[in-house]
Structure 1
Amino acid sequence: MSSEKSGSKLPITAIILTYNEEKNIRDCIESVYHWLDEIYVVDSFSTDRTLEIISEYPDVKMVQHDFENYSTQRNWAFQNLDIANDFIFNLDADHRAMPELADELRNHFSIGIPQNINGFMASRRTMFLGRWIKKGGHYPVYHAIIFRKGHGECEQKNYDQHFIIHGESIVLKSNVIDIITESLSTFTERHNKWATLEAAEAIAYSKEMEAGRVKADKEGNPMEYRRYQRMKYYSYPIFLRVFLYFGYRFVLKGGFLEGKQGLVFHFLQGFWFRFLVDAKIWEMKYNQELNESKTGVKR
């Protein structure tokens, strides 16, 4: 680890969330340590070596807060940390800011950020078992990564949360690396949990739930257009949409070109996971109908 930072720092505060991230946190911090003015780690009471590694960086500020869900943790940080800068960079421990991203942001800040610009969007570069997943419609996928303090938040969702930028944003050409799994066991365990959350949300969805979330907009920014595509997906018949989606990703969008890692990733993430979500939607509705038939009370 470098003992000193070098070069001028950008007036940006990074906020990194952790829980038992000893395998990731060092590389995450190192990816922003030399060019960001302030770094916070919000830890959910890790029990591995995460805190020990963070302590090797004396100017990284660490606070601990009980974890309820991702959205609540992020928004708690925005509201309670003593953030020194006008712009906030949101990272997870398995994210890495690429050097090109630092250079691109330096260019923008050297010119000056217009007052109407309240954030920056960048694509994530998914790394799966050592391979960059470029095909299958999985790249580029844009996320709000930086927003002006007081002009952004994390949407209140149980799964697949995005950051909302209130106002205009700049779409960056550079990427944030997203190392999405350390093993297939971890990958499938997480997706099983997320499938339950997404199924429940798909059943409960209503127009009223759109408040405080990224809006679905065919003509909007890259995040809003992707949310529109997601809602369009759920308008198709259950189960049939899974096969259509996998065919689109694996065949039409070239997922089959990405070798064994691509086959495993696109099948598990683009078919198995989506099928599991639909199966859980079906199961939840079946159990609800069964309960209603027994009690005579419709929900």
Structure 2
Amino acid sequence: MAELSTPKQKLSALIITYNEIGYIEKCIESISFADEIIVVDSFSTDGTYEYLLKHPKVKVIQNPFENFTSQKSFTLKQASNDWVLFLDADEVVTKNLQQEITETINNPNAHEAYWFYRKFMFQNQPLNYSGWQTDKNHRLFRKSKAQFTDKKIVHETLEVDGTSGILNEKLLHFCYKNYEDYKGKMLCYGRLKAKEDFYKEKHFNYLLMTVKPFWKFFNHYIIRLGVLDGKKGLTICFLNALGVLERFCELKRLEKKNELAYYLVMP
């Protein structure tokens, strides 16, 4: 009697976007092997939504952006399949990684989630150091076994009910389009981290505002060998430190705004 073959596992590829033209095209092309592609767009103004709307393989939904965690949690709920590949719009899945993903989700002994190491690309050149050499993220997981924690609103964290593995092939991350674009991202992340700190009742501190950005730059540029990335490393390390500075500046603004609101409502 012939053995019954195990049904092939289906995969949902998920992305959140806001003004990602120049990134999103390569990302979508690299995940065309998925059984469904769902993109949640935060009302882009650069043609991203229109591009996705016309794409035959993409289901696009618009949803207001509150923070990264809430947007990704909303997107996760849209997936039809249990196995989910969750990417940023500036990430690209290589052919070898596509094959590894397919083999992994069809392995009966698979973990519930998988970490991906990422290769950072500065425009089209690899960034080998600058603090990114050990960067890894959960990108592949079972929807039924994982959720994004509500304790973080930026650099969202996945809580997994089960074990996690690590894939061998790296995910390409085209993090740097140009100076102003990356600067804008770092300032945005800094402001969101400040909101996270504010909700956790962490207080602004002048000493930390001085020390933390300097330490970020020194750690990534010297200790984590950003100097070996040349001008690319100097640029990335400076902008990452600028994001940390913005975090403290925004926290100070939030505290002042809160104090003003308090005095205005006092009898």
TM class by shorter chain equals: 0.7 to 0.9
| Contact 1:54 1:60 (C-alpha < 8 Å) held by counterparts | yes
Unpaired stretches in structure 2, ≥5 consecutive residues = 1-7
232, 243, 248: which is aligned to 2:214? 243
Q: Does the alignment pair 1:145 with 2:142?
A: no
Residue number in structure 2 paired with 1:217: none
Residue number in structure 2 paired with 1:136: 130
TM superposition shift of 1:244: 3.0
Residue number in structure 1 paired with 2:233: 262
SS in 2 for 1:260: helix
For residues 180 and 130 of structure 2, the distance between their equivalents in structure 1, rounded to whole angstroms, comes to 23
TM superposition shift of 1:152: 1.6
Q: TM-score, normalised by structure 2?
A: 0.80
61, 64, 77: which is aligned to 1:63? 61
TM superposition shift of 1:147: 1.4
TM superposition shift of 1:49: 3.3
Residue number in structure 1 paired with 2:3: none
CA RMSD of aligned residues (A): 3.2
Name the CA shift for 1:118/1:281 in 2 (closer, same or farther; >3 Å).
same
TM superposition shift of 1:288: 7.3
Query: Residue by residue, what CA displacement relative to the aligned partner does 1:159-200 show, whole Å, maximum 9, x if unpaired?
Result: 222333222111112222222232212222232233222123
For residues 39 and 284 of structure 1, the distance between their equivalents in structure 2, rounded to whole angstroms, comes to 38
Name the CA shift for 1:251/1:27 in 2 (closer, same or farther; >3 Å).
same
* Aligned 1:163-202 pairs, distance under 5 A: 163-202=158-197
154, 158, 177: which is aligned to 2:153? 158
For residues 172 and 123 of structure 1, the distance between their equivalents in structure 2, rounded to whole angstroms, comes to 8
Name the CA shift for 1:256/1:113 in 2 (closer, same or farther; >3 Å).
same
SS in 1 for 2:120: strand
Name the CA shift for 1:69/1:237 in 2 (closer, same or farther; >3 Å).
closer
Name the CA shift for 1:61/1:241 in 2 (closer, same or farther; >3 Å).
closer
* Aligned 1:30-109 pairs, distance under 5 A: 30-33=29-32, 35-55=33-53, 57-79=55-77, 81=78, 83=80, 85-109=81-105
Name the CA shift for 1:191/1:136 in 2 (closer, same or farther; >3 Å).
closer
Q: Which amino acid aligns with 1:70?
A: F
Residue number in structure 2 paired with 1:22: 21
| Contact 1:125 1:140 (C-alpha < 8 Å) held by counterparts | no
For residues 166 and 22 of structure 2, the distance between their equivalents in structure 1, rounded to whole angstroms, comes to 30
Count of residue correspondences: 255
Name the CA shift for 1:290/1:180 in 2 (closer, same or farther; >3 Å).
same
Q: Which amino acid aligns with 2:196?
A: E
Name the CA shift for 1:118/1:292 in 2 (closer, same or farther; >3 Å).
same
Unpaired stretches in structure 1, ≥5 consecutive residues = 1-8, 208-233
Identity of paired residues, percent?
A: 26
245, 260, 265: which is aligned to 1:275? 245
Q: TM-score, normalised by structure 1?
A: 0.73
Q: Which amino acid aligns with 2:227?
A: F
| Contact 1:10 1:37 (C-alpha < 8 Å) held by counterparts | no
For residues 126 and 140 of structure 1, the distance between their equivalents in structure 2, rounded to whole angstroms, comes to 11
Q: Higher relative contact order at CA 8 Å, sep ≥6: structure 1 or structure 2?
A: 2
